[in-house]
Amino acid sequence: MNEVREIVTKAVVAKGKKIMHISHELHTTAHPYSILGCWIINHEFEASRNDKVVDIDGTFEVNIWYSTEENTKTDVLRENVKYHKDIKVKKIVNDYMKNSDDILAKILKHPTVTQAKIVDDVIHLELEFEILAEVIGETKMQVTVFNQEDLKDEDIDDLDIEVNEDFIKDK
């Protein structure tokens, strides 16, 4: 005889993703003439749950290669940038133990500079990246359990007889 039992397990109970946009200004004592390259490196972040949103606190390093003195010299400007963003999460499972939350967050698109321009000797950057956030919580699920004494050896032997190995050849 089979029975239905409840199992407590961890599952994704809420999920959300967001494309983040960050504007940042870099100030330099040199007078930048043109931007030759932009890189974002060393991106790190932490995620934490805050009611119906996941808070993302992170940092990354911006490296700007630029020319000065009417394109006759170059320099690299490095600056660490901190940010705080929220991701709204949608509930997938309604019935779960709320004190058991774990947060998983991963980068879907790494930070990139989408626009860089010089205005009055200040370098203005527009950055973009995408993060997926998942809330993991304990929930219950029901499973059907077959008792070992209900399953007889002859039932297993009959399984081999029922399989037609030439089913593709039969037409």
Closest CA to 75 of 59, 86, 63: 63
pLDDT of residue 101: 82
| Percent share of the chain, pLDDT over 70 | 85
pLDDT of residue 97: 77
Per-residue pLDDT reduced to its tens digit, 22-35 = 999 999 988 999 99
Mean pLDDT, the chain, rounded, equals 87
pLDDT of residue 164: 66
Per-residue pLDDT reduced to its tens digit, 93-125 = 888 877 778 999 999 999 999 999 999 999 999
Q: How far apart are CA 149 and CA 102, in angstroms?
A: 39
β-strand 96-119 against 122-146: which pairing, if any? antiparallel
- Output the 3-class SS for the chain: CEEEEEEEEEEEEEEEEEEEEEEEEEECCCCEEEEEEEEEEEEEEEEEEECCEEEEEEEEEEEEEEEECCCCEEEEEEEEEEEEEEEECEECCCCEEEEEEEEEEEEEEEEEEEEEEEECCEEEEEEEEEEEEEEEEEEEEEEEEECHHHCCHHHHHHHHHHCCCCCCCCC
Say if residue 171's pLDDT is above 60: no
More confident residue, 150 or 145: 145
Say if residue 159's pLDDT is above 60: no
Say if residue 53's pLDDT is above 90: yes
More confident residue, 148 or 153: 148
Six token digits for residue 126: 């527009």
Query: Confidence class of residue 79 from pLDDT cuts 50, 70 and 90?
Result: very high
Q: How far apart are CA 13 and CA 136, in angstroms?
A: 6
Question: How long, in residues, is the chain?
Answer: 171
pLDDT of residue 141: 86
Of 30-34, 41-45, 83-87, 140-144, the least confident: 140-144
Mean pLDDT, residues 57-85? 95
Closest CA to 26 of 84, 81, 73, 82: 81
pLDDT of residue 155: 56
